[in-house]
Structure 1
């Protein structure tokens, strides 16, 4: 696969030279103008047919072509294009199959989207332009980005969600802004004449940066909460050990005491030992239930941390906001629950450490 990619380097360079400046595809029945520039016959006839001025200019150099325009077929260029197509068809097929295998390995054998500008041998698309609503391969992506008025177009990974999800449902425009008041992505018209008029609105990139700061703060708080939960579990373990030690000590003392008066106090000793054992079992049962709840909170905290880490590394801004809110809501709920339960856990642990009367 690596050799196939290296071998197609010369083909990419030659293809750029054999590309029509109008349709950005390989020449189809190329013709030459008097200025020397060549175009597909159908492309140049369509362009010149839309110009009302008899002094038609060349689309490339703007040279005036004169009223009596004759399109001369460029036989040499046509032969080169045909030879290029025949030579590179096998290599392009190998590259395309290799790219499909690579994409399949990375995306679980996902379907390869073809470039919508390739004519004869469609290459796998690398990016999708949301403004032009087309998917582009590497060569046509470079040509697309080379045009000055395309610099502001939004490019996303092929297959990165549905295109309609990135457009405003009210106005049909791209979601390029972020409303801080409503915490949602909006289009330009939403903040000018829509329901978000008068709200504080920033660019989606600035909104992403602000939310990223909040996300990092939430992760820090969650990390502190997790550490507190771990500490609470350790305290509970110490309380459990102390309960057992106290019970053992008390049992030993009572056994020594009642051994001396075993005959007279045998019944009394049995009753007290039973009470002590019941007390231990009851306390341990409470400890077990409390530990189970804290362990569940700890596991949830770890899951939320992992989810936030994945969202933090999400390069797609739209998916970042789409996945962020459910996780942050879960984090806030967990933090509030831990704050309320920490006080009761601390007082409970102190009560458990005291030996039974």
Structure 2
């Protein structure tokens, strides 16, 4: 039967489950619809909103098994949408089956065709129930319902079930619609699986189609509408529309991009001078009037011809950047490797030194203990002898005290003579026994240990001055003349002569010498100035040490602050070291007892890597007092 053929495949509705349940409850065959023949179910079908087209198409893909869909989702982002749509379709399938069962005629077992209702409330296909009623031969002109056998008078005209007809019609229309959408979705799945592009979700639909919007084939820039093939033919036949610009189908965003932001006109021209697309009003009224203007089509042709060259240029640039980046990454890894190497070396060296110092400490402390025991063993007999002498002297003193009260002259003289006749040893002088010798031995041992363990580092620890001066050559610089109001410059002194007025430091005084290679240093006496700057430059950068009146010491590389420190006392002398090979500048605080250089110490302030690529000059600036070169 025709009805059975049309229902052999379960169609999928683009409706939500709540809508289907409402349709199911309103279209049951157990009685007339609540709204009667004129209820809302009899209204004509409205055009589906364009925003739901993709969802409807996705919901119609019920033929694709879930396992195949989830596996295909690995091939492209469109499968995520398809997978969600398929899940929704599977969730609605049970509701659709229930609805299909309610739409089956009990006579022909197919979907209702022009359903009508009897007075008992049961519904049948109009053709089916008419055939049954004609075949019945009941007495008194009565007919009975095939389902409940309820009898009623033979109706002259069967009452149509309008709401049930509406539900059946939607069911059948959706079946046809879903068949087309499923075929399209199947093609989309195949394209995604093969890695081909597809425009299922970005498809531009015709703006003039009402019931069934068709895919657009062109977009009119003047009308700002998209047209299918049928409406494009109507658009092209009108004479006053033939001058409109037609492009490939595009959305509102692309349409906005093709219009002038200032005038809202089409971008039909190209300004060669400014390399920008402009409209006709821009060419006539704006700043592009005197520029070279060509059409967009001509500019497009030129750009297409120059495109391979541009691509080649960018590829070369990309290759150069990649090579430079690889070089930098390689240098980065080398620096990290060297840092790890030196760190391990230093840690290992100091661990070894600590172990050796611990052993030496134990040995020296053991030697000190041995010397102590030796010295104490020599002192103990002396202590015992002195105690015996002390006891004898104490007894004699007690006897003399008792003899003081003797009144008998003979006894007094005999007792005193006996006490005086006793032999008394002379008290030896044992002050400062061997203590000096003990300290001498300890000091000598510690000196030997230090010289043994720290000898590899003595040039860094014990003799920093000689190491510093041996590698860097002292440059006795002189100042270049500088024409600045209130500033006096001679060979060795830079002086402010408008004292006590303070002037700013926008100027720099250069040295007469410049440096391109080697290691150099110079020293500047700064004790006579509150605010000063000393550093280096090659006219492409400036690296300098600055002292402010608030005793704030700062290091700059151009305008970038490298280091800042607040000092309690002013710096009296600064040393600047330049290493042209390593491209570094170092600043030191020089502490001196006198300026003859007989005794100096150097405290590092900062070391800066500079981008020097040409001869480097020493630079100086001042706003108060004077600076002097040594």
Q: As a proportion of its length, which structure holds more helix?
A: 1
Structure showing greater radius of gyration is 2
Give the TM-score taking structure 1 as reference length: 0.38
TM-score by length of 2: 0.24
Q: Which has the higher strand share?
A: 2
